[in-house]
Each structure stands twice: as C-alpha cells, then as structure tokens.
Amino acid sequence: MNNKPLIAAGNVMGVGMGGFADGILFHQILQLHSMLSAKLPQDTIVNIKTSMVWDGLFHALTWITTAISISLLWEVARQKNVPWSGRIFFGSGLMGWGIFNLVEGIIDHYILGIHHVVERFGLSIYDHMFLASGVLFIAIGLITIRSEKSHLQHIYP
C-alpha cells in the first residue's frame, strides 16, 4: 500500500485551508492584519484598498492551492493501491495547516516583517503563538498519520 499520494493531497489541502483560515479570520473578519499591513499602515483608504489587492492575490493563491489538492485527491481516488483512510487524510491536512502557519509565520512575520498577527502590537506574543500552533498542528498530524499507518500495516501486511 502506498500512502504518499493521500498524504500529499491532504497536505496541500491543509495548506489551502490554513491559508483561508488566516485570510478570512485574521485579514477580513477580525481585520488584525493584512498582507502588507506593516508596510502600508491601514489608516487611509488608498493604503487599505492597495492592501486589499495584495490580500486578493494571497486568496487567489490559496484558492489555486486548494484546487490542486482536490485534483490530487481525485487522482488518489482512482488509484487502487492507495488506502482511502480518513485518518491519514485528516492528519495530513492538519500537518499542511501547521506547515502553512510555520512557513508563513517565519517568512512573513519574522524574516520579512511585512505583517504581524496583531499589527498594532508589531512582533508580539501572538506571532510566537501562531508559530507554536504550526509546530503543534504538524506534531498532531504526524502522530495521527503514523498511528494510522501502523494500524493499516496490521490490516494489509
């Protein structure tokens, strides 16, 4: 049995869903930051509208990522040697979400400093928590995948 295609599909979907969670919750509903909020202070209509375009590009990339994951999942469904395991898919998704939080957090919040979780605080405890959530999600995802893999090895030795 080959789990890798399912893990890849779940992983990419997790990145997409993590991106949407960030974009919808933090950028739009709570409006804590936007893509370039450290560069463009959100205090004029020109800056807000310009940020909205970059947020739109971010959401477009997130949409493309999710679409790719659907096509990968479609391919998985056609392969007979890939186990159709909900737990592996869930674990991979959680791992993908964690990868999103970790990579996006390190690059955008820490290295480039283009935005922070709560922009008015700058680099704060919330950025550390965002990064920690990424590590936690990856760990839970990996544990879920590994436990299911060993379970499947008993069924399909």
- Residues of this chain that interact with other proteins (CB under 8 A) are 4-5, 7-8, 11-12, 15, 35-36, 39-40, 45-47, 49-50, 53-54, 57-58, 61, 65, 96, 99-100, 103-104, 107-108, 112, 114
Q: Which two tokens stand for residue 115?
A: 């935005």
Least distance (Å) between residue 50 CB and other proteins = 5
* CB-nearer residue toward other proteins: 103 or 129: 103
Q: Which is nearer to other proteins, 49 or 120 (CB)?
A: 49
For the CB of residue 8, give the shortest distance to other proteins in the complex, in Å. 4
Q: Of 30 and 107, which CB lies nearer to other proteins in the complex structure? A: 107
- Shortest Å distance, C-beta 142 to other proteins: 10
CB 92 within 8 A of CB 50: no
Give CA angle at 33 (27, 38), nearest 5°.
145
| Cβ–Cβ under 8 Å, residues 17 and 92 | no
d(CA 76, CA 4): 10
Q: CB nearer to other proteins: give 5 or 32.
A: 5
Residue 30 beta carbon to other proteins: minimum distance, rounded to whole angstroms: 20
Provide the token pair at 84: 């159709």
Q: What one-character DSSP code corresponds to residue 42?
A: T
Round to whole Å and give the CA distance between 10 and 97: 10
